[in-house]
Every structure is written in C-alpha cells, then in structure tokens.
Amino acid sequence: MADAHNKPRLHCTFRKILTGSDLSRRRLPQMTLESGRPGPTIWLTGCAHGDEVGGMVVIQEVFRRLRRVALLAGRVCAFPLMNPLGFEIGSRKVSMSGEDLNRSFPGSPSGSLAERIAHLIFSTIEESEPAAVLDLHNDWIRSIPYVLLDVPPAGASRKVTQRARQLARETALPIVQEIASLPRSLSSTLLNRGIPALTLELSESYWVNERQVEVGVGAVSRVMKRLGMVRDAMWQTRDDEQAPAEAMGRVLRYTEEPRASTSGVIRFRVRAGEIIRSNQELATVHNAFGRLLERVRTTCDGLVLGISDSSVAYPGVPVMALGAFDESPGAGGA
C-alpha cells in the first residue's frame, strides 16, 4: 500500500472541444495521477472510436487501483474518452462531422472538427515527453485481446520501433504486426515523433466485457512494471485467459484473408483464439435454400483473432481476422 506521505495525487480536469449553438460546452476529460517522485510518464488513451467503450473502463480501473497501491515513480496520464461526440450515440466516428478521429492525427488547431480534437490530444501528449503511450481499442464482438504493432512510419527511428516491440512483449498478449501503414493514426504518428506507442485491441465493441477489462488492466500494469512505476502487476492473467502457447513469443502478421467470394449465409467452423492450419476449413457459405456455395479455407498456419459480427457473406468482404505464423517463436527482435 502507498504510505500516507506519498499517496498518489489524482487530478481530473476537462479540455474544451467546442461551444454548441445553444452555448453548451463540449469537453474532453483528462486524468493525471502523480507519484510525487521523479520517473517516467505514461499515457493511456481510450474511446477514439465512440463504440469502443471497453478501453475507457480499463483506464478507470487502472486509476482506481493505483490509488490503492504504491505508484513508485513518475505519473500516469489519460484521455479516457477521446470521442465523446461519437460515444453518446454509439458511433465509431465523430458524430457531427462523420470523421474517423484515429485517422486525423496529429491534427490541426484550424482544421476540421476531428483534426482540432486530434491536435488537442496529440500536442498535450507530445509536450509531456512520455516513455510510452497505450492506445486502447476494441475489436469484433467475438475476438480475443492482442497488441497491434504499426508498420514503422518512414520517419520513425529503429530504436523507437524496437522499444515499442519490447513493451508489447510485456503485455503478455499475442503480438500482431499490422500490414498496412496508417500514417494518421495516433500510435503511428507518435512513433513518427519518437514516442513508443502501442495499440491494444481488447475484444468486443459496444459493451463492457468485465473479463477483458481485467486483461486490459493486467496488460497496462505489466508495462508500468517494466518502466519501474509499480512493483507488481495489478492483475495476473488466468490460465483460461491466455492465448495458446504456440501463438506467444512470436510476432504474427495481421490478415483478413481468405475472404468469401460468394453471397449468402456464412457458418463459421472455428472460434476466436483457436489455432488453425494451412488449408483448414474456416467457414462455409450457403444460399437461401441451404445449398453449399463455398468452403472458405486458410492458406497459412495462425491464430484466429476475431470473427465477423455478421453471418451475411458478400464477395470480397472480410469474414474474420487472423494472425499468421510467419515468424518462428522468439523472432522479430526484442
């Protein structure tokens, strides 16, 4: 427990977004927990997409528990609700402008609405010179937690991208390498500015899965332990929450292949978190009369990260997300 003289100090405030036509003010909540001792700064960000609510609750739980344990050094900062406009109506995008906030960084103080919000968030984080930023997201309803590594931006240093990989290993989650560059996402833009950043995909959108909240708290606290900010992780992952051992200790390649090539109802033959083998049947597609139209088979060994929220198949539309085993265990750098 934290002693009485060094109890972490919590500060909650708001940052202005805009003033509405009815003169109401729209604001971003911001949280800071100070240890009172020199040390690193870590940022937690959540709900960039308004329908991805789980990350916000992970942040709330991290701060709640840190007030009961010893924050050894440094400070923890957070924007738990980056897209309040989308959150209020369950929308992925900024509701007033239809923009994706996580494709708007680093933003601009005189740009579109999403760019203005992004600029406020990004400039605040960058000015603090953090040791790490963990951006918390949610995936398909039937998905497993994993940590997503960006394709290194052209301007990012090798040292920073290696540091991001080191921190990813501390989460005890499967590590998945993105295949396409997202240069205006928060994590990619931070990497380009020399700040180690990770995206944590913590299972389903739209509602709070309490078990996955615990997994998220554990992942965050293990990174904090690696940075010397806490003595012990605030949650130990149970055996039944672990990804298969074959998927750990390696960097998986994100893929949404194979896709359906016909239209119909899709019947899934695998589950999220399951190990798959090359040429294994993943799903079948049937027409309205029940006739088999297609067997969807994988072309690689890997891990099922998530399954589509819909059982309606269309040609070329993803039906699941996989982490392909392109690297042997232990490969991919520290």
Domain shared by 155 and 261, yes or no: no
Residue 85 lies in a domain: yes
CATH code, 202: 3.40.630.10
- At residue 142, the pLDDT reads 93
Domain shared by 217 and 255, yes or no: no
Give per-residue pLDDT as tens, 83-101: 999 999 999 999 999 999 9
Domain shared by 301 and 233, yes or no: no
Domain shared by 141 and 276, yes or no: no
Q: Give the H/E segment covering residue 114.
A: helix 113-127
Residue of 112, 23, 119, 110 lying closest to 79 (CA atoms): 119
In the chain, the percentage of residues whose pLDDT exceeds 70 is 93
Domain shared by 281 and 319, yes or no: yes
Q: How many Å apart are CA 79 and CA 56, to the nearest integer?
A: 9
- At residue 22, the pLDDT reads 84
| Low-confidence residues of the chain: pLDDT under 70 | 1-6, 235-242, 327-334
Residue 329 lies in a domain: no
Q: How many Å apart are CA 143 and CA 64, to the nearest integer?
A: 26
Domain shared by 13 and 76, yes or no: yes
- At residue 326, the pLDDT reads 85
Hey, CA dihedral for 249, 253, 254, 259, is it positive or negative? negative
Of 242, 265, 293, the domain-final residue = 242
Report the b/e string of 31-43 with b at 16+ CB within 10 A. Answer: bbbebeeebbbbb
Domain shared by 255 and 236, yes or no: no
Q: Which domain holds residue 274?
A: 251-324
User: Does the N-terminal peptide bond of residue 258 adopt cis geometry, omega within 30 degrees of 0?
Assistant: yes
C-alpha atoms less than 13 angstroms from C-alpha of 273 in its C-beta half-sphere: 13
Residue 331 lies in a domain: no
- Which structure tokens are listed for 110? 């005189």
Residue of 329, 249, 257, 332 lying closest to 300 (CA atoms): 257
- At residue 43, the pLDDT reads 98
Residue 55 lies in a domain: yes
Domain shared by 154 and 98, yes or no: yes
Q: What is the pTM of this model?
A: 0.93
| Residue 29, Cβ density class (10 Å: 0-12 exposed, 13-18 middle, ≥19 buried) | middle
SS3 state of residue 12: strand
Number of domains in the chain: 2
Q: Find the length of the chain.
A: 334
Cα of first residue to Cα of last residue in the chain, in angstroms, is: 33
Residue 129 lies in a domain: yes
Domain shared by 215 and 315, yes or no: no
Of 179, 207, 242, the domain-final residue = 242
- Which structure tokens are listed for 167? 């921190």
Residue 216 lies in a domain: yes
- At residue 237, the pLDDT reads 58
Place of tokens 């309803």: 141
Residue 330 lies in a domain: no
- Which structure tokens are listed for 187? 């994590």
Report the b/e string of 277-290 with b at 16+ CB within 10 A. Answer: eeebebbbbbeeee
Place of tokens 């739980």: 61
Of 242, 274, 296, the domain-final residue = 242
CATH code, 275: 2.40.50.100
Residue 272 CB neighbours (<10 A): 20
Are 262 and 233 in contact by the 8 Å Cβ rule? The answer is no
- At residue 307, the pLDDT reads 96
Residue 234 CB neighbours (<10 A): 20
In the chain, the percentage of residues whose pLDDT exceeds 90 is 83
- At residue 189, the pLDDT reads 97
